Amino acid sequence: MTDRIAEPWGARTPYAAGQRWPDRVDTELAEGLDPEAVDWTQSAAVLHSNGDGIDIASHNGRIAGVRGRRADRVNHGRVDPKDLFGWQANNSPDRLTVPLVRDGGRMVESDWDTAMNRIVATTKALLRDAGPGSIGFYTSGQLMLEEYYTLGVIARAGLGTNHIDGNTRLCTATAEWALKETFGCDGQPGSYTDVDHADVIALYGHNVAETQTVLWSRMLDRLAGANPPHIICVDPRETPVAREATVHLAPVPGTNLALMNGLLHEVIAHDWVDRDYIAAHTVGYDALAACVADYPPERVAKICDVAADDLRRAAEIIGHAQRLLSTVLQGFYQSHQATAAAVAVNNLNVIRGMLGRPGAGILQMNGQPTAQNTRECGANGDLPGFRNWRNDGHVAELARLWNVDIATIPHYSEPTHAMQMLRFAEQGTLRMLWVSATNPAVSLPELRRIRHILGQTRLFLVVQDIFATETAELADVVLPAAAWGEKTGVFTNADRTVHISDKAVDPPGQARPDLDIFCDYAERMDFRDSDGAPLIAWRDPESAFQAWQRCSAGRPCDYTGLSYEKLRGGSGIQWPCNAEHPDGTERLYADGEFWSEPDYCESYGKDLITGASIEPTQYRATNPDGKAMLRPAGYTPPHERPVDDDELWLTTGRTVYHFHTRTKTGRAPQLNNAAPQVWVQLSAGDARRRGIREDDPAVIRSPRGCVQARARVGGIRDGVAFLPFHYGYWDADDDGHHRAANELTITDWDAVSKQPQFKTSVVRISRGAEEDRSGW
């Protein structure tokens, strides 16, 4: 069998345009086990956003391996290397197995009653003394749908706080906002099956080869077959995608919007647009054309430092595509003018009429496995079911559904985003923060600041996780949670495919499913509805799912046609799935009809530059009939930028072998050995100018901190350095804070999506000895 560390994408199974992607079933089992001798339980992948259907092997009460599900529409049997080996983390001896509480400054082992009662006592005291605005929840893109929905009801209808967000703010907030700005509503337009049909695949800041390896295998198989598609790659690094690209554009960080406006300029100037589609299905074309008229190739080439001819060639390929698939990820989402640039990708597809047909689509991607559920359940700065917080009718629906007074549900402003919650905590007005399944002490920007905020004694910090993360070390109460494979629930991937993940084994020790923990809290808090009945009327996953189905009814993310039973046995199913679409829906907007009608839409949108809310009356005037909206914006320079040749741009990102902050992948020997230590990548020229050679120690400094890493030379454009963001301190060799990329990153976020910028910090790099840690 292929060594999947050396060859992450496995063996090729070529296919031609329009053909079915061949199956290839990948399996990994603990040594000495026979596939016939283990129990198999249906699940899906949780170490990336692709949503590959996999089965979990269990043996003697322990997880013992995985196998790809041949029947699944997403992966046709394939398994990402992280999933092939990552399951071993479940069996790790250092799992959290008992609740911990802080006593006299240190964490001690405790029990569930003590831990939960402390949380309840603190909640009640805060509600009495400071009101619901003193309590916040920061959740994840890695829990399950039932858990997010329950948490959302607790926060909004139980406590009445507006402070609930997910770490999806770091990974998918811009995807969501780009869709809301263009289509009035969240919801992935395209489908992974568009890869089977596309003649051009344009990847914008999307290193799919490392973020979604199985989807990249699908693209590689198209490239290896008859009539392969053209690949357009926009990325400052020479990624595997760039190496397969017909045109690779490597813009200077922070200039994505200028690049996109340049592409739009060419497509419009050459009239490669679908005028009938524009006339019938869109508003705003004239303003878009006027805006991008200022971005001829020569000007864009200068701003982005790319060759004007490369830009022209890319625009020509995109302009002549018959089936154009555009995909977008963190290179755009975590950069300057994130939403405006991602919206510009939508604009390109829409003016070419490339939407809703096989091969013609948009995939605004996610970074995490269940990020889509965070969005749809209202744990990512929205109300549940893609409801519009500015639409009183939508809020009234929720009040009826939950049987609470409408005034209980905060809808006086947009739900508070994570960075603002942290700011409120920094100022001392948010005094209890409940973090579930995420690790902000490594993943948020400017870590020295984050550690200070989370470590304050005046902040009561609850951490619910499967391992003692860097964040858990700062907590007042730590709750041990069940991991994937130890609980049942459903989750939805980046192309709306809903999978069920069944429980294969029991959680270790006293660890409990996150849903159990949230329900326990609700019961101890005694949250009641208007008639005195328990607010949370469910305790098990299936009844929680049914409660969510009622919430989703009639909304774009309609789950009413699904059930646990229907999700078991075959492939995942794409929402909306209801009476009208009992088998799910492969592509949205096939008929040029959108969810942007003023009374139905999820959002009235925001100004792409300032982030100011667009008023309902203004929305109604510009888009009364619910069409797609072409929203332009001009390029502005990033707030921090290099001032001389000594300074470089820093971008952060992933390696194929790790996920998030390595809590799981760092505990799988094969994955850890494949990438055990942080490194810094810089161009040959930039390395030479600093006297740095391959594998030399280097010191990377910004005004916010200092990181030490070994150098990898080449594979990136001049003027830019890259650090992987996975590495924190739980397995570091020493006590300092010189390993996490986020020691260096700037605190700045997109005005629209509020997604922090991880791609546009400024650093200085020098060849450095281990002890040299002098500052900026």
Contacting residues toward another protein, per CB under 8 A: 130-131, 133-134, 162, 410, 412-414, 416, 419-420, 423-424, 426-430, 606-607, 609-613, 636, 639, 747-749, 751
Q: How far is 194 from 167, CA to CA, in rounded Å?
A: 28
Half-sphere CA count of 576, side-chain side, radius 13 A: 19
428 vs 554, beta carbon nearer another protein: 428
473 vs 607, beta carbon nearer another protein: 607
162 vs 492, beta carbon nearer another protein: 162
Q: Which two tokens stand for residue 140?
A: 């994840």
CB 57 within 8 A of CB 39: yes
Beta strands 497-501 and 489-492 are antiparallel
Q: Which two tokens stand for residue 337?
A: 């003018």
Q: How deeply is 576 buried, as exposed, middle or buried, from its count of CB atoms within 10 A (0-12, 13-18, 19+)?
A: buried
382 vs 516, beta carbon nearer another protein: 382
Q: In 3-state terms, what secondary structure has residue 137?
A: strand
390 vs 487, beta carbon nearer another protein: 390
For the bound state, the minimum distance from the C-beta of residue 283 to another protein, rounded and expressed in Å, comes to 17
Q: Which two tokens stand for residue 347?
A: 């604009």
CB 684 within 8 A of CB 752: no
162 vs 665, beta carbon nearer another protein: 162
Distant-in-sequence, close-in-space partners of 484: CB < 8 Å, separation ≥ 6: 43, 46, 90, 501
92 vs 456, beta carbon nearer another protein: 456
- Residue 6: how many CB atoms within 10 A of its CB? 8
For the bound state, the minimum distance from the C-beta of residue 412 to another protein, rounded and expressed in Å, comes to 6
Which of 226-239 are b and which e, b meaning 16 or more Cβ less than 10 Å from the residue's Cβ? Answer: eebbbbbbbbbbbb
Q: Which two tokens stand for residue 603?
A: 């959002």
For the bound state, the minimum distance from the C-beta of residue 745 to another protein, rounded and expressed in Å, comes to 12
Alpha carbon 159 to its chain centroid, in Å, reads: 27
The position carrying tokens 């309840």 is 120
CB 598 within 8 A of CB 393: no
For the bound state, the minimum distance from the C-beta of residue 453 to another protein, rounded and expressed in Å, comes to 9
For the bound state, the minimum distance from the C-beta of residue 344 to another protein, rounded and expressed in Å, comes to 19
Q: How far is 633 from 379, CA to CA, in rounded Å?
A: 28
17 vs 751, beta carbon nearer another protein: 751
Q: Which of 744, 634, 663, 641 is nearest to 481 (CA)?
A: 663
For the bound state, the minimum distance from the C-beta of residue 149 to another protein, rounded and expressed in Å, comes to 24
For the bound state, the minimum distance from the C-beta of residue 337 to another protein, rounded and expressed in Å, comes to 11
Q: In 3-state terms, what secondary structure has residue 765?
A: strand
Beta strands 679-682 and 705-713 are parallel
DSSP bridge pairs for 108: 101
Half-sphere CA count of 706, side-chain side, radius 13 A: 14
Q: How far is 149 from 156, CA to CA, in rounded Å?
A: 11
78 vs 606, beta carbon nearer another protein: 606
Q: Which two tokens stand for residue 264?
A: 């739009």
89 vs 421, beta carbon nearer another protein: 421
For the bound state, the minimum distance from the C-beta of residue 583 to another protein, rounded and expressed in Å, comes to 42
2 vs 413, beta carbon nearer another protein: 413
For the bound state, the minimum distance from the C-beta of residue 555 to another protein, rounded and expressed in Å, comes to 25
For the bound state, the minimum distance from the C-beta of residue 384 to another protein, rounded and expressed in Å, comes to 20
For the bound state, the minimum distance from the C-beta of residue 334 to another protein, rounded and expressed in Å, comes to 15
DSSP codes of every residue in 68-82: E-TT-TTTTT---HH
611 vs 697, beta carbon nearer another protein: 611
In angstroms, what CA-CA distances link 615 with 54, 227, 750?
45, 48, 20
Beta strands 135-139 and 164-166 are parallel
Q: In 3-state terms, what secondary structure has residue 687?
A: helix
For the bound state, the minimum distance from the C-beta of residue 462 to another protein, rounded and expressed in Å, comes to 20
> For the chain, what is the radius of gyration of the CA atoms?
25
227 vs 636, beta carbon nearer another protein: 636
For the bound state, the minimum distance from the C-beta of residue 410 to another protein, rounded and expressed in Å, comes to 8
For the bound state, the minimum distance from the C-beta of residue 452 to another protein, rounded and expressed in Å, comes to 8
Listed in sequence order, the DSSP H helices in 526-559 are 541-552
550 vs 639, beta carbon nearer another protein: 639
Torsion 371-375-377-382 (CA) sign = positive
133 vs 187, beta carbon nearer another protein: 133
For the bound state, the minimum distance from the C-beta of residue 420 to another protein, rounded and expressed in Å, comes to 8
For the bound state, the minimum distance from the C-beta of residue 606 to another protein, rounded and expressed in Å, comes to 8
Q: Which of 16, 110, 72 is nearest to 480 (CA)?
A: 110
369 vs 605, beta carbon nearer another protein: 605
446: left (phi over 0), alpha (psi -120 to 50) or beta: left
For the bound state, the minimum distance from the C-beta of residue 612 to another protein, rounded and expressed in Å, comes to 4
Q: Which of 310, 344, 312, 313 is nearest to 326 (CA)?
A: 344
11 vs 612, beta carbon nearer another protein: 612
For the bound state, the minimum distance from the C-beta of residue 625 to another protein, rounded and expressed in Å, comes to 24
Alpha carbon 552 to its chain centroid, in Å, reads: 21
Q: How far is 142 from 369, CA to CA, in rounded Å?
A: 6
DSSP codes of every residue in 496-532: SEEEEE---SPPSTT-B-HHHHHHHHHHHHT-B-TTS
423 vs 767, beta carbon nearer another protein: 423
The position carrying tokens 């350095």 is 721
CB 244 within 8 A of CB 221: no
